[in-house]
Amino acid sequence: MKFRPLMVSVLALLAVGGFAPAKLTPEQVKSLPPPAARRVDFAKDIKPIFEASCVKCHARGKAKGGFNLTSRATMLQPSDSGPAVVSGKSAESHLIELVSGLNPDDVMPQKGSRLTAGQVGLLRAWIDQGARWPAAISFVKPPPANLTPRRPDLPPAKRDVTHAVDRLLARYFKEHKITSPVLVDDRLFARRASLDLIGLLPSPAELEEFLQDRRPDKREALVAKLLADDRHYAEHWLTFWNDLLRNDYRGTGYIDEGRKPISRWLYSALATNMPFDCFVAELINPSTTNAEGFVKGIVWRGAINASQTPPMQAAQNISQVFLGVNVKCASCHDSFINDWTLADAYGLAAVYATNELELFRCDKPTGETAAARFLYPEVGAIDPAAPRAERMKQLARVMTSPKNGRLPRTIVNRLWARLLGRGLVEPLDDMERPAWHSDLLDWLAEDFVAHGHDLRHTLRLIATSRAYQLPAVNLGELAPTNFVFRGPAVRRLSAEQFRDALGTLTGVWFSKAQLPVATNEIRSSLVAADPLAVALGRPNREQVTTSRPSVATTLQALELTNGDTLSRLLARGAEKLLGPNPPPGAALVDRVFGQALGRPPTSGEQQLALALLGQPLQKEGVEDLLWAVTMLPEFQLIR
């Protein structure tokens, strides 16, 4: 609900003469909904109205138009338009005039559903009865969620529930009456883990070795082996961080060198498993030219308007990526979707400002100057008077402070979502929301910190849990407002995973990497996007991308059926598979199915595939077989 000033002429009278808004005429009073003919209870009748329609703009740190609903005392204070509530006199209360909609051009709430006549009647009766408001009830800004570090106690291990994640989930499953199903088989687990951790399909030889392994801890061993593969790990997770950090190999800003990539630094940081706190600090306050691209990359978009100046883009990107906070709305005005204010956004932006940063509200100057500060001052302070370089250093220190429990919670939530398809907190960029299992989120975050901010440690922890090994669930069958965790979500291969899977299947990789890597198997993450990658959802990275849609689109269908990029790739792949001495048709079918699907073909599939190949083997037939297999949901989905 937005408490807006009345007409300009009335405001002028208020400013000059101190008069309150004009009283309603007798005819207007008669047109108001009558007061409710009963005793009104604030907690039961009025508080729900305020919460639904008013507090977003007039409480919890905000007071649009000077109207403050934090408490009874603040409510009775004159607003910019005079007294909003006159105790005992609802007909003289400006609040009633606004919520009743007597003036269609000046009505509250400004957005959303208007109050019903019954609700206005309750407000009138409440005011007429003295506007009683229990002192214990207020609409103060709540303390930040998911900020203070907290380490819950681990429930005791029971029988086969020994893993920390599963011990924390055991009670959750019991409360939701979820019986533990049989875990996925070894073949499916190996495919899932390999795609999730290094982005590649396991080779038939690797898969067979794993299937023949009789060790009881072979799944833990496989996860450890995958995460120890520095090269493939870095190449895979490069995609994740490129999306988050707006890093790419070409695009707007590179021609005039206003934009600088961080690809080499990022690859090295991932390959060497740089501790995450050091990783974040280096991005926020780079000590080398190789890492400065994140900060410099903010500048290339230029100053589109006051809410998109380079310092403001810095505030938006840093808060979104590392804190799971959206201050984009608050960069223009006090946010309507959360509690962040214009002053909050400008305070963080001022850290990166080279000159004094004036606040603009809806692109109009306010005459106020922003003072540099962290979004959560309780975590640590930034000296507004310090030079820019020192402010950046202080921001890096505060962001990675042990007091900042939001940083580890945000990254472990992203890792959980990456491996299981949905975060413990959703949306991923709204970490003020409660987790569906707060103990699990908090424990993972504290364990992450205790193990030196080791990303691979947390990935290993999640991937070795029974929760990760449960059968996949189609989230389309679940109401998003009533989510219950039952297992990993079915996910589509990312654009990079799909292209790399084609590489392992056909032996056709990219010819040249944008980074100096010692391999001929150039993966998709190491090159600029082609039309196939774009169609499959690879973003242009003009803005932060924290998750990609997993739903198939018409563009994808067109590119996969008629696109030149895929057609040329399959043609080259067919030539390589045939070689100078083509193998027997049955052997070729076995090879394609083994690499693409991790299993031999059924007898029916074998017959259909041989019919496609023709006799003798034809290049076009091999292309058709490759296309048919790669279009199968079994190939395109991570289950």
* Residue 116 located in a structural domain: yes
CA distance linking residue 249 with residue 370, whole number of Å? 35
pLDDT of residue 475: 84
Domain check: are 279 and 372 in the same one? Answer: yes
Domain boundary among 339, 374, 399: 399
Residue 155 sits at φ, ψ, to 5 deg, of -60, 155
Tally of domains within the chain: 4
Domain check: are 219 and 285 in the same one? Answer: no
CA distance linking residue 222 with residue 128, whole number of Å? 72
Domain boundary among 347, 378, 399: 399
Residue type, 450: A
CA distance linking residue 194 with residue 478, whole number of Å? 27
561-580: string of b/e by CB count within 10 Å (b at 16+)? Answer: eebebbeebbbebbeebbee
3-state secondary structure 379-423: CCCCCCCCCHHHHHHHHHHHHCCCCCCHHHHHHHHHHHHHHHCCC
pTM of the predicted model as reported, rounded to 2 decimal places: 0.84
In contact, 449 and 406? CB cutoff 8 Å = no
Domain range for residue 279? 234-399
Domain check: are 211 and 239 in the same one? Answer: no
* Residue 34 located in a structural domain: yes
SS3 63: coil
* Residue 2 located in a structural domain: no
Domain check: are 217 and 95 in the same one? Answer: no
* Residue 514 located in a structural domain: yes
* Residue 425 located in a structural domain: no
In contact, 303 and 310? CB cutoff 8 Å = yes
Domain boundary among 205, 228, 251: 228
* Longest CA–CA separation in the chain, Å: 99
CA distance linking residue 81 with residue 6, whole number of Å? 7
Domain check: are 525 and 585 in the same one? Answer: yes
The model's pLDDT over 230-277, given as tens digits with 9 standing for 90+, comes to 999 999 999 999 999 989 988 765 555 566 789 999 999 999 999 999
Instruction: Give the DSSP per-residue string, 265-304.
Output: HHHHHHHTT--HHHHHHHHHS-SSTTTTHHHHHHHTT--S
Domain check: are 250 and 384 in the same one? Answer: yes
Domain check: are 287 and 337 in the same one? Answer: yes
Cα three-residue angle 265-267-271, rounded to 5 degrees: 120
CA distance linking residue 476 with residue 474, whole number of Å? 5
Residue 460's Cβ-side half-sphere holds a number of Cα atoms within 13 Å equal to 18
- First-to-last alpha carbon distance for the chain, in angstroms, is 45
**For the chain, what is the radius of gyration of the CA atoms?**
30
Give pLDDT < 50 ranges for the chain: 1-20
Mention every residue, 6+ apart, whose C-beta is less than 8 A from residue 593: 599, 600, 601, 605, 609, 629
* Residue 146 located in a structural domain: no
* Residue 484 located in a structural domain: no
Domain check: are 213 and 280 in the same one? Answer: no
The model's pLDDT over 194-241, given as tens digits with 9 standing for 90+, comes to 999 999 999 999 999 999 999 999 999 999 999 999 999 999 999 999
Domain check: are 521 and 394 in the same one? Answer: no
pLDDT of residue 618: 92
* Residue 440 located in a structural domain: no
CA distance linking residue 178 with residue 185, whole number of Å? 20
pLDDT of residue 208: 98
SS3 637: strand
Domain check: are 571 and 616 in the same one? Answer: yes
Domain check: are 221 and 321 in the same one? Answer: no
Domain check: are 251 and 389 in the same one? Answer: yes
Structure tokens at 234: 């870095």
